[in-house]
Amino acid sequence: MTFAHCLNVLCQKIARAERALGFNSPSILDPYDNILKNIGVILTQLSCRLARLERTLKIRGGGGLPPLTPNNANILIGKLNSRADRVLRVIRRRRRKNIVVNLLEYYIVGASSLGRSYVFTFRNGIQEGLTATLIGASNFGAAVAITTDGTRAIIGASNASSAFIYVKNGDTWTEEVSLPFGAVSILYGTSVSIDGNGTRAIVGSFLDNVVFVYVRNGTTWTQEIIIPSAIPGPTASFGASTAISEDGTHIIAGAPNPGNSTFIYVRNGTTWTQELPTLLGPGGGDLGTSVSISADGTRAIVGAPGTDETFIYVRSGGLWVQEGATLSGAGGSDFGTSVSISADGTRAIVAAPTTDEAFIYVRDGSTWTLEQMLDNGGSEFADSVSITNGTNAIVGQGNFPGLGSAFLYRFEDGAWNTTPEVLVNPDSAAGDNYGFAVGSNGTGN
């Protein structure tokens, strides 16, 4: 079999797999007049397209492509052909079992100065574009979260002391409920979160030093409980950050300044009780400025940007203990201003907005190590971060008073792609704060 024939066969296999998964499948060879001269570029593109297919199917990838040499082109094509064969086998097997491959990703980005929030949808790794523009009151979009299935979103409008839950019916998003149901202090809605199936939602009201918990029955939302601060005094800032686990069993709430502490609660039926111990930060650390919790409520990450530190905790025997070493950033970087842990608790991302960086960590057993530093060179990069099931991360760049942005990074071929996809704001305006808050489905909220 000739070299050219092997290459054509490989391209046909990849195109067939892409069509089966609903991808657009543009020709790789057509743009090149001299295939041999451009073989390195062509093989790299084929490897990237295979990696996207492998990620969509959730099968182990074939790793990165070794450098091309004058003697190994046939070997590389053989390796890529083997990966393509495996992808096609998985598709055929799942079709026989009537398993539909249709991977959906949802991302939400707030632009609080515009009073807007935007929902983006990706199908099988391909951006379908802007799904919805949600418009609300003053500071609407200062805090955002979206459910795992992408059918509900909660948006905070703290300047208006409000939060709103939206529901998706078909292609239309409509307001389902406006919160709260009674009087609250200003800055209600500074933090928001919603569980995986949109049954429970939480809103922080840190001037009231409380966290409100709401539960849905059908399309009706009611207040389940108000969790008060365990710290005495009116200025503990309890509820400045909040997250609820995907399964709706655990809540984490920060009380950063001057509380310098974080609290985790567990649900039994409709009763919420604190799990011990209270998580306490280093002096001046503002522990609890940012929080996130895994899908099953067994791991949590808490930022202490006052000392440029972040801590990961694991629940063991009903108690929360620190897991691994303290994660530390450069002095004065505000490392820990925003944090997120993946749904499966295997990866975490930490923002350091003062130095315009974000850091991704990976867990091996109980050890967390730095996997990738992200830096796009822009001002206020990493105002906010969110990581999904460990393969996608979104980073917001509020860039006030300039134009905000949001960037999507993917883990492909055994490494993070440092050339991100941009989630474009169609209503961009100077000082829009677009990207100051971001969220994604399948995260630790």
Q: What is the pLDDT of residues 102-116, one digit of tens each?
A: 678 899 999 998 899
What is the residue whose two structure tokens read 């089966």?
20
> So what's the pLDDT on residue 62?
64
Q: What is the pLDDT of residues 347-400, one digit of tens each?
A: 999 999 999 999 999 999 999 999 999 998 767 799 999 998 778 999 999 876
Q: Per-residue pLDDT averaged across 119-144, rounded?
A: 85
Peptide bond preceding 234 in cis form (omega within 30 of 0): no
pLDDT category at 202 given cuts 50, 70, 90 is very high
* Cα separation values, 358 from 330, 381, 384, Å: 12, 8, 9
pLDDT at 190 over 90: yes
> So what's the pLDDT on residue 257?
86
Q: What is the pLDDT of residues 35-51, one digit of tens each?
A: 666 777 888 888 888 88
Domains of the chain, earliest start first = 3-96 (no CATH), 104-440 (2.130.10.130)
Measured CA to CA, the distance from residue 399 to residue 165 in angstroms comes to 27
Q: What are 156's two structure tokens?
A: 């905070």
Q: Per-residue pLDDT averaged across 143-160, rounded?
A: 94
Q: Per-residue pLDDT averaged across 157-178, rounded?
A: 93
Q: What is the pLDDT of residues 288-345, one digit of tens each?
A: 999 999 999 999 999 999 999 999 999 998 899 999 999 999 999 999 999 999 988 9
193: three-class secondary structure by DSSP: strand
pLDDT at 444 over 50: no
